Amino acid sequence: MQELIPFQEQFFEALTRQDVQGGLTVVQAAVDAGFPAKAVLLHVTIPALDRIGLMQANNEIALSQVFVVARIVDMAIERLNRLMSFRVITTLDERPSLGTVILGSAPGDYHSLGRKIVGTFLKLGGFKAIDLGINVPAARFVDTAVREEAKVICVSALLLHTAEEIKEIRALLRERSLEAQIKLVVGGAVFNADPELYRAVGADATAVNAHSAVTVLKQLVGGMP
């Protein structure tokens, strides 16, 4: 979709300027120019967000910028979704969905910004992400994963004592012999402060930001890069 590259460039620029209206105008202009909503999502919104993700990975942007970008992207997706036949994004390209992921904040943890951003990236990365919100009890993570046939449970924790609660999820997976089919991935500021901590709480993997969360999950569920 070469023709969409200029739109992608403009959308990316609007994101870096944190220009909500500008971003939405670019998306609308691409649709008005006759491109299908799905193509706009695939070739304008997602690559631009990817580039922002890389900047975040390199510590080039602040939380305020990530916050506004996530909002612009959410609004753009909502508009494009309305133009498409399906409401919830599961897969965005011709490949089948990469699978279901259960996402939530650890028991006792009320931080939600990072988790929501991870959710947006996972959806755009091709996963069906079910977000259970803040302060999710260990059993609810596991029960929902079983019911939804999820391949991964993703837990966000920013505090040490809530990170410790993740051990309970590992214990439940073990008790119910689910360890082979359900992987446990964790993230949040506290895991970035201590790169060893994820192992101590019984997780299979961690990722330092939303962008690498997608890479890590792809590797974990399908050996994909």
Residues within the interface to other proteins (CB under 8 A)? 18, 20, 61-65, 67-68, 71, 108, 110, 112-113, 159-162, 164, 190, 193-194, 196-197, 200
- Spacing of C-alpha 159 from chain mean position: 20
- Selection from other proteins, ligand B12, none that 185 binds (CB < 5 to 8 A by kind) is ligand B12
Query: Is 49 a binder of ligand B12 (CB under 6 A)?
Result: no
Site size toward ligand B12, by CB under 6 A? 31
Which one of ligand B12, other proteins, none interacts with residue 20, CB within 5 to 8 A by kind? other proteins
Q: How far is the CB of 114 from other proteins (least distance, A)?
A: 11
89 or 118: whose CB is closer to ligand B12?
Answer: 118
Residue 200 touching ligand B12 (CB under 6 A): no
How many other C-beta atoms lie within 10 A of the C-beta of residue 78?
11
* Alpha carbon 221 to chain centroid, angstroms: 15
Near ligand B12 in 146-165, by CB under 6 A: 154-156, 158-160
- The total of other beta-carbon atoms located within 10 Å of residue 159's CB is 17
CB nearer ligand B12, residue 115 or residue 170: 115
Segment 171 to 190, residues that bind ligand B12, using CB under 6 A:
185-190
CA–CA separation, 189 and 208 (whole Å): 8
For ligand B12, the closer CB: 110 or 148:
110
23 binds ligand B12 (CB under 6 A): no
Residue 33 parent element (H or E): none
Residue 55 or 159 having the CB closest to ligand B12 = 159
Give the residues across from 112 on adjacent strands. Answer: none
Classify residue 177 by its DSSP letter: T
Residue 213 binding partner per list ligand B12, other proteins, none, with a CB distance cut-off of 5 to 8 Å that depends on partner kind: ligand B12
Q: Residue 106 gets which letter from DSSP?
A: P
- Chain CA centroid to CA 122, Å: 3
Indicate the residue among 38 and 183 with the shorter CB distance to ligand B12.
183
Contact 170, 203 (CB under 8 A): yes
- Comparing CB distances to ligand B12, the nearer of 37 and 210 is 210
E strand residue ranges, the chain: 100-105, 128-131, 152-156, 183-187, 205-206
Residues with Cβ within 8 Å of residue 139, at least 6 apart in sequence: 172
Q: Which amino acid is at 15?
A: L
List of residues contacting ligand B12 (CB under 6 A): 56, 63, 66, 108-115, 117-118, 154-156, 158-160, 185-190, 192, 206-207, 209-210, 213
